[in-house]
């Protein structure tokens, strides 16, 4: 089975040798603290390093076992009151949707276009109901769409949030996974203090198996999130946080982003090229400059679930669009992850999906000449 389903780095993207070196280094610390319990907010040297990078106080940095666990703690706190209204992008990452639903949130999806969240639609959503507890957004190389919020819209979003006193939760696991174009400022960087809570992860920039992600929180929320963490797991995985600290401290991140980014660019190019060659008129897709995902809109309102069944029977899998919407939407769309399969598999896999699509469209013959 060729998988376009999960947002997982290929095994060749992982810097295993460097991780081994960093492990040996932190185990030799005279403090002997890398395999010990630690503070609930994480390994102190890593918190300090991340605080310096973001220009904030270390007390505002909360490091958890992957960023999703940090978001789960944060949302448990933010939704403990009466206000359960939450705005998300439509589509948005499916796992946070499940966490929000589990916490009893009333989730409203705000439409996106190729430039990211549509701000007119956001204004309407704000007008149509009580002030939400927060907006959850992935502005850069979004999961699932691969779309990036335009710079001008970032500024407008921050202004709107200020005017409407809207709290923004910015999830940024892919911001550093850029393999072309110029970096954009995060919402955290653009906004006045306290307006944006920032979430990030090393799953896509070092390795997911380490499960190290972090939040940058307003000071008043940091203590509350720590209290939830200590009750849930005593302390997070100090061992892998120490390894990430060593990785960053010794300058291994930038070369790793270059190397893994090169592999990812080849995969994205293979997928874009195959889509261009294989897919019929009426289909459209995003063209991200980084990240892991391409969003595919099918022609003729073909049902993506039916396409998935056909594709899986042919040996390729993806995620259907409906999984990424809180309400209706995505029925004729799909998320294609290009991060895991190698270029030749991607070319073959897109060909198989296109063939399945032609079958559903009743255009089984004649087959176009494929490469």
Residues of this chain that bind a second copy (CB under 8 A): 6, 8-9, 11-12, 14, 16-17, 19-20, 23-24, 27, 31-38, 65-66, 68-69, 72, 95, 98-99, 102, 203, 207-211, 230-240, 242
Distance of closest approach, residue 69 Cβ to a second copy, in angstroms: 4
d(CA 191, CA 154): 9
Structure tokens at 151: 């710079």
Distance of closest approach, residue 95 Cβ to a second copy, in angstroms: 6
- Contacts of residue 24, defined as CB under 8 A and 6 or more positions apart, other chains included, come to none
Nearer of residues 247 and 318 to a second copy, judged by Cβ: 247
Q: Which runs of consecutive H residues, i.e. helices, occur in 8-118? A: 16-27, 44-54, 67-78, 94-102
Distance of closest approach, residue 31 Cβ to a second copy, in angstroms: 8
| Count of CA atoms in the C-beta half-sphere (13 A) of 328 | 0
Distance of closest approach, residue 99 Cβ to a second copy, in angstroms: 6
Nearer of residues 233 and 300 to a second copy, judged by Cβ: 233
The enclosing H or E element of 199 equals strand 196-201
Nearer of residues 212 and 356 to a second copy, judged by Cβ: 212
d(CA 363, CA 355): 9
Nearer of residues 22 and 117 to a second copy, judged by Cβ: 22
Handedness of CA 53, 244, 173, 166 (dihedral sign): negative
Q: What angle do CA 106, 217, 47 make, to 5 degrees?
A: 135
For the chain, give the number of residues.
371
Peptide bond into 238 cis (omega under 30): no
Structure tokens at 329: 């939407």
Structure tokens at 47: 């918190």
Query: Helix, strand, or coil here: 322?
Result: helix
Distance of closest approach, residue 28 Cβ to a second copy, in angstroms: 8
Distance of closest approach, residue 86 Cβ to a second copy, in angstroms: 16
Nearer of residues 31 and 220 to a second copy, judged by Cβ: 31
In the chain the first and final C-alpha atoms are separated, in Å, by 20
Nearer of residues 80 and 258 to a second copy, judged by Cβ: 80
d(CA 339, CA 5): 10
Distance of closest approach, residue 172 Cβ to a second copy, in angstroms: 17
Nearer of residues 73 and 285 to a second copy, judged by Cβ: 73
Residue 290 DSSP code: B
User: CB burial class (10 A; 0-12, 13-18, 19+) of residue 284?
Assistant: middle
Distance of closest approach, residue 173 Cβ to a second copy, in angstroms: 11
Other C-beta atoms lying within 10 Å of the C-beta of residue 335: 28
Query: Helix, strand, or coil here: 331?
Result: coil
Nearer of residues 115 and 208 to a second copy, judged by Cβ: 208
Nearer of residues 47 and 153 to a second copy, judged by Cβ: 47
Distance of closest approach, residue 231 Cβ to a second copy, in angstroms: 5
d(CA 137, CA 158): 12
Nearer of residues 30 and 362 to a second copy, judged by Cβ: 30
Distance of closest approach, residue 15 Cβ to a second copy, in angstroms: 8
């Amino acid at each position: 089975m060729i998988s376009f389903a999960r947002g997982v780095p290929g095994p060749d993207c992982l810097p295993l040798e460097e991780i081994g070196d960093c492990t040996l280094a932190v185990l030799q610390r005279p403090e002997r603290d890398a395999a010990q319990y630690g503070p609930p907010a994480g390994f102190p040297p890593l918190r300090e390093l991340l605080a310096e990078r973001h220009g904030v106080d270390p007390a505002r940095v909360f490091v958890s076992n992957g960023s999703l666990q940090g978001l789960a703690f944060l949302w448990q706190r933010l939704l403990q009151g009466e206000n359960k209204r939450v705005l998300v992008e439509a589509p948005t990452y499916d796992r946070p949707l499940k966490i929000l639903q589990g916490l009893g949130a009333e989730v409203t999806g705000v439409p996106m276009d190729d430039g990211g969240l549509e701000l007119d639609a956001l204004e309407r959503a704000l007008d149509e109901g009580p002030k939400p507890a927060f907006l959850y957004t992935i502005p850069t190389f979004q999961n699932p769409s691969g779309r990036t919020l335009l710079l001008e819209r970032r500024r407008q979003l921050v202004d709107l949030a200020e005017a409407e006193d809207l709290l923004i939760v910015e999830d940024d696991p892919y911001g550093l996974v850029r393999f072309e174009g110029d970096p954009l400022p995060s919402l955290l960087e653009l906004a006045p203090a306290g307006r944006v809570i920032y979430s990030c992860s090393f799953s896509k920039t070092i390795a997911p198996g380490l499960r190290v992600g972090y939040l940058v929180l307003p000071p008043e929320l940091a203590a509350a999130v720590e209290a939830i963490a200590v009750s849930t797991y005593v302390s997070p995985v100090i061992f892998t946080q120490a390894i990430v600290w060593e990785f960053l401290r010794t300058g291994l991140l930038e070369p790793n982003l270059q190397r893994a980014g090169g592999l990812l660019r080849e995969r994205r190019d293979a997928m874009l090229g195959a889509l261009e060659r294989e897919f019929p008129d009426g289909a459209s897709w995003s063209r991200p400059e980084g990240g892991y995902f391409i969003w595919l809109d099918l022609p003729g309102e073909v049902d993506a679930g039916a396409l998935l069944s056909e594709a899986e029977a042919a040996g390729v899998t993806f995620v259907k669009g409906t999984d990424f919407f809180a309400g209706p939407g995505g029925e004729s769309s799909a998320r294609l992850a290009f991060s895991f399969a190698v270029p030749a598999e991607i070319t073959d896999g897109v060909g198989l999906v296109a063939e399945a699509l032609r079958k559903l469209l009743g255009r089984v013959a004649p087959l176009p000449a494929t490469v």
